[in-house]
Amino acid sequence: MQGKHGHLSREQKQLAIRLHSKGWRLIDIAREVGCTAPMVGKMAREGRHLDAKPFGWVPREGRLTVLDREQILVGLARGDTLTAIARGLGRAVSTVSREVKRGGGRQEYSAWRAHENAREQARRPKPFRLGDGRLLEAVTTQLEQLWSPQEIAARLRLEHPDDPEMHVSHETIYQSLFVQGRGQLRRELARCLRSGRAARKSRTATDGRGRLPGMVMISERPAEVEDRAVPGHWEGDLILGENSCSAVGTLVERSTRLTLLLHLPDGKSADQVETAMREAITALPSALTRTITWDQGAEMAKHAEFTTATGIPIYFCDPHSPWQRGSNDVAQPAGGRRTADSGAIAACRKSPGCMWRTTASTGAGRCMR
């Protein structure tokens, strides 16, 4: 199909010239780009295509481009299998198969017509599934009953197997909750989600902290630490108060479960944590200060300065591996979130650097000072 006023777009002319260089007949090229064979011959002789107006649409990253569709067209004309075409494109076979099927099959496929159709499909208005009606009412009711979007989507398909109007994906429910203007789900229903978040957290985005420089990983920690026979090996962490407005550092000795509470009245930055930890640990006999194990939190950015000042090495757990410092997690109060024990915070505020003795089986504690 030609552009406005019967003119070919720049991309159409470029496609015609590339097909001509591949040895295609003028009449076949003309049928593909939507013009006459003499016009194709003139374009091929003069090489004029840059003066044409561009098509004005570029597919999103990851979508098939006009060059991809041209390669599919040429492969079909050669009689290549869909598997061979997909391998040449670096795409899944299913992607090529769906593209050819949408384009009318092997005999009817047109690269340029498929590209125009893709633009129209991208532009078409898409009514949102959760606009109103029975589906919206059902999803709202189940969200209020604390069902997850995945559970709701699965349940609706079980209850209404022959009614597509009552089917919805969990992703559609999330978008209606998190994206303004998408559907009619009330914003406050986001609090019914198990995450409790009213905004989405990307799984691929980093937190911006990066890797701490100079870390020594737990795999290099002395073997004697594992059996807990020798005292002096500590595990550290932060426990946070309500809304993360307050924090207490903890150092738990692996053999005795003795816990040092680090007073952090002015915040939990790396400088403040390093200072509090150094003051607490240097008050102990040297025989009880052999190693410290911590996670890779930003509060440990000053670990090298701490080791230089005290001579105590710090070993870091692997990412997302809390069991590698299990003594510290046992010493913290049980529950879905790691929140500070009110007794521990009160004791730490009253007596900075206090020792908190915990029971391994229950996590209950009492101040030893």
- Domain shared by 114 and 140, yes or no: no
Hunting for tokens 């005292």 — which residue is that?
231
Give the integer Cα–Cα distance in Å for 153 and 171.
9
71 CA to centre of own chain: 33
**Percent of the chain predicted with pLDDT > 90:** 30
Give the integer Cα–Cα distance in Å for 62 and 70.
16
**201 in any annotated domain:** no
**311 in any annotated domain:** yes
**39 in any annotated domain:** yes
- Domain shared by 228 and 272, yes or no: yes
**140 in any annotated domain:** yes
**192, 207, 229 - which closes a domain:** 192
Residue 186, pLDDT score: 60
**123, 149, 176 - which closes a domain:** 123
- Domain shared by 237 and 302, yes or no: yes
**349 in any annotated domain:** yes
- Domain shared by 163 and 248, yes or no: no
> Quick check: 349 and 333 in contact, CB under 8 A?
no
Residue 329, pLDDT score: 62
**181 in any annotated domain:** yes
Tokens of 18: 């590339």
Which residues in the chain come in under a pLDDT of 50? 1-5, 180-183, 206, 333-342, 359-364
Give the integer Cα–Cα distance in Å for 193 and 198.
9
* Burial tier of 178 (Cβ tally within 10 Å: 0-12, 13-18, 19+): middle
Domain range for residue 315? 216-367
Give the integer Cα–Cα distance in Å for 156 and 140.
12
Residue 359, pLDDT score: 47
Tokens of 13: 């002319």
* Burial tier of 305 (Cβ tally within 10 Å: 0-12, 13-18, 19+): middle
Residue 326, pLDDT score: 74
Residue 360, pLDDT score: 45
Residue 363, pLDDT score: 47
- Domain shared by 225 and 331, yes or no: yes
- Domain shared by 51 and 179, yes or no: no
**17 in any annotated domain:** yes
**210 in any annotated domain:** no
Counting DSSP H helices and E strands in the chain, the numbers are 14, 8
Q: Number of structural domains, the chain? A: 3
- Domain shared by 347 and 228, yes or no: yes
For the domain that residue 231 is a member of, what is the CATH number? 3.30.420.10
322 CA to centre of own chain: 20
**98, 123, 148 - which closes a domain:** 123
- Domain shared by 61 and 180, yes or no: no
Which amino acid is residue 157, in one-letter code? Answer: R
- Domain shared by 102 and 147, yes or no: no
- Domain shared by 104 and 143, yes or no: no
- Domain shared by 138 and 115, yes or no: no
- Domain shared by 279 and 176, yes or no: no
